[in-house]
Amino acid sequence: MQDVSRLFQEPKAERRPSDEDSPVSPSDKEKYDKESQYTSELSSPQDSAPPSAGDSLPKAQPPVVPPGPPPPQWSLLHEYAFIFNICLAQFITLAALAQTIAPLLLIGHQMKVRHPGQLSWFTAAYSMSLGTFILPAGRIGDMYGHKRVFMFGWLWFGIWSLIAGFGYSQGPIFFSVARGFQGIGPALVVPNAMALVGRTFPIGNKRNMVFSLFAACGPTGFVMGAAMSSLLAERLWWPWALWITAVVCALAAIFSYLVIPASMSRPATPPGQDPPKFDFLGCGLGVSGLILINFSLNQAPIVGWPTAYIYFILLIGLMLTVAFIYIEMYHAEHPLLPLRGLQKQAIFALACIAAGWASHGIWLYYFYMFLMRVRGVGPVSATACLAPVAPIGVAWALSTGVLLRKTHVSLVMFAAMMFFFIGTVLLAFVPERQSYWLQTFFSVIIMPGGMNLSFPAGTILLSNAMPREHQGKAASLVSTVVNYSIASGLGFAGSVERSVVLKAERTGNMDVMVGYRGGWFLGCGLSGLGVLISLYFVWVSRKR
């Protein structure tokens, strides 16, 4: 067992007729058409309920939204196994994210990396790929069957987890690249898992509960992943966390084959219609633009913004992203994302999610850095300090469906943004040697409200608004915003930390807390922006 204490102390469903079934009988066509009638608004499910005298927000007249397919004819045990399999996708995705956050200083010590910008790449590369490649993953599932893509994603996830585990011998650049390719696996798994839920369960309490359970697996997965990777790093060797992940992914692929109905291997298109086609131009523009933007944001803290190629890459990325949005909205026959039909409620919800989750990524990264480098605790102890996130996050996630039935989605988003803001502010002003049970503890128990209200609310909102043959697109949009915001937030925070530390060094102040507070203050600004957007969301909803 290696001595690690000195590293953390530093000085100051039923089968549906498809295209393969020819000819299509009129009765089957009529059956599908009846199931595809739109019944609720692009908002939370409760909007279709009649208003009461005590309602503070007026209810809009419902336009068309698909109710989804009827529940498949399976046993209760089979249904539970299916839900467990779906939730495992979110659990392992967040556990893999934690594998380079909790034991970060140990990994950096072995690879002889101490620069904060280089260390953050180990996590940012994973989030960048996850947030970017989700963009086409949902559409691919809509085209070729969500079960097939879901299983392929598990296999890809496992292979690159294995390769990343051997990155210890190849240096930090190879390891960061391998983490980036590893992130493509969950990018395929997560949106197709959510699409499988949308295809399986009709709009209602059960679908909302499954989405809430899916969201609840986020904090539990992260805490478990952080705990296991920390224990392995301190007691054995940190690559074992990645190798174990590879084994789990292989088993998950086998389990998916056995549990998910065979009908989910086919596209959920209406009888007599062709499956949706792939938008190659939009995919090329969108993926390239998002990768270039995120690369420039996370590379700038290492080489500095005055470096010419940072501005060049950022400019090219922005131009490609603008071209992607223009193509998707006005020219793409089969767009990757449902940008044309997004109503104001969906746009406001996604904007809140982007601001809040960017703030959350900053809060989490510097939470570990603060505990390990300033307070001198190890990865396992730091993870133990974060442990309350799991049960509290589960409670908030499971309550989202109930809250959406009783209040408007704008109020749920406002509450989530307030949790993000208050939790970040508490850490931004925390004294270095204060007891954990004061500001740090209260920040830990407040932050899960932001994560586990905003994600399931946005997922339910978008899923209920899309027909079952486009559930992949709905899932891709929410997951892209969440994961890409985390990676971008880390890039911005790294630049702020570098700037603040360089300025402090010129004045003779070598305290690392100066840089950490700079990152947290940026997180306060982002979550504060989310609060303002959600307030405007509430005002617009009341006006309606």
Can you give the residue ranges of every domain in the chain?
A: 73-264, 279-333, 338-543
- Could you give the angle at the alpha carbon of 543 between the alpha carbons of 539 and 544, nearest 5°? 120
Cβ atoms 457, 412 nearer than 8 A = yes
- For residue 18, pLDDT over 70 is answered with no
User: Alpha-carbon distance 437 to 178, whole Å?
Assistant: 38
User: Alpha-carbon distance 502 to 343, whole Å?
Assistant: 44
| pLDDT at site 348 | 82
User: Alpha-carbon distance 263 to 71, whole Å?
Assistant: 13
pLDDT in tens, 493-518: 988 988 888 888 777 766 778 889 99
Domain boundaries 338-543, CATH class:
mainly alpha
The dihedrals phi and psi of 434, each to the nearest 5 degrees, come to -70, 155
Per the model's pLDDT, the better-predicted residue between 200 and 426 turns out to be 426
Superfamily covering domain 73-264: MFS general substrate transporter like domains (1.20.1250.20)
- The 3-state DSSP class for residue 308 equals helix
User: Alpha-carbon distance 473 to 135, whole Å?
Assistant: 8
User: Alpha-carbon distance 510 to 188, whole Å?
Assistant: 43
Give the pair of three-digit tokens for residue 403. 């809250």
pLDDT in tens, 226-267: 999 999 998 889 999 999 999 999 999 999 999 998 878 777
User: Alpha-carbon distance 93 to 80, whole Å?
Assistant: 20
Mean pLDDT of the chain: 80
Half-sphere exposure of 206 (CA within 13 A, CB side): 15
Query: CA dihedral defined by 86, 91, 93, 96, rounded to 10 degrees?
Result: -150
- The 3-state DSSP class for residue 321 equals helix
Out of 50-59, 73-82, 109-118, 399-408, the most confident range is 73-82
Question: In sequence order, which ranges of 100-238 are alpha helices (DSSP H)?
Answer: 104-110, 116-144, 146-165, 172-200, 205-235
User: Model-level pTM?
Assistant: 0.77
Helices (runs of H) and strands (runs of E) counted in the chain: 17, 0
| pLDDT at site 71 | 56
Grade residue 9 by pLDDT with cuts at 50, 70 and 90: very low
Domains 73-264 and 338-543 fall in the same CATH topology? yes
| pLDDT at site 463 | 67
